[in-house]
């Protein structure tokens, strides 16, 4: 399943810090391959990594305000929290799945447990 973390509204020129996000991903998964080949609007930077469930990936929209995650839900929630920490508190973030079976506002300071509860309540 694909999950997304996206800035809702105008980001005012802000873009996620790709290096900081890469560092966080490498801290969680030891085997990370980065593909910076521009493969389109949605796949401007791709992180591929091995998880306990097999190979997974995350990729960044070229605008730097939307992260797509083809991972298990627990990993998506973790990545969403990391993204929130790298986003200015005045920007609104939404965490959802590709089919929009749920979408929740991701407020600054939200914990993984809190986000898990929000997702479970919304879905």
Q: Would the pTM count as exceeding 0.75?
A: yes
Whole domain around residue 25: which residue ranges? 2-122
**What distance in Å separates the CA atoms of residue 81 and residue 114, rounded to the nearest whole number?**
10
Q: Which residue has the tokens 């990391």?
A: 82
CATH at residue 7:
3.30.310
What are the tokens at 33?
């391959």
Whether residue 30 is predicted with pLDDT greater than 80 in this model: the reply is: yes
- Per-residue pLDDT at 82: 97
pLDDT tens per residue across span 97-123: 998 899 999 999 999 999 999 999 987
How many domains does the chain fold into? 1
Q: How far is CA 4 from CA 30, 31, 48, 59, in A?
A: 23, 22, 16, 10
The pLDDT > 70 percentage for the chain reads 99
Nearest Cα residue to 115 out of 10, 18, 123, 17: 123
Nearest Cα residue to 49 out of 72, 65, 66: 72
């Amino acid at each position: 399943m694909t999950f997304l973390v996206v800035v809702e509204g105008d980001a005012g020129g802000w873009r996620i810090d790709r290096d900081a996000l890469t560092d966080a991903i490498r801290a969680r998964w030891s085997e990370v391959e980065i593909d910076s080949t521009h493969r389109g609007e949605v796949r401007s930077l791709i992180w591929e990594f091995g998880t306990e469930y097999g190979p997974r990936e995350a990729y960044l929209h070229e605008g730097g305000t939307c992260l797509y995650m083809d991972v298990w839900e627990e990993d998506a929630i973790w990545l969403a929290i990391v993204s929130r920490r790298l986003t200015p508190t005045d920007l609104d973030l939404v965490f959802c799945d590709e089919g929009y079976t749920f979408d929740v506002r991701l407020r600054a300071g939200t914990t993984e447990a809190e986000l898990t509860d929000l997702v479970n309540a919304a879905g």
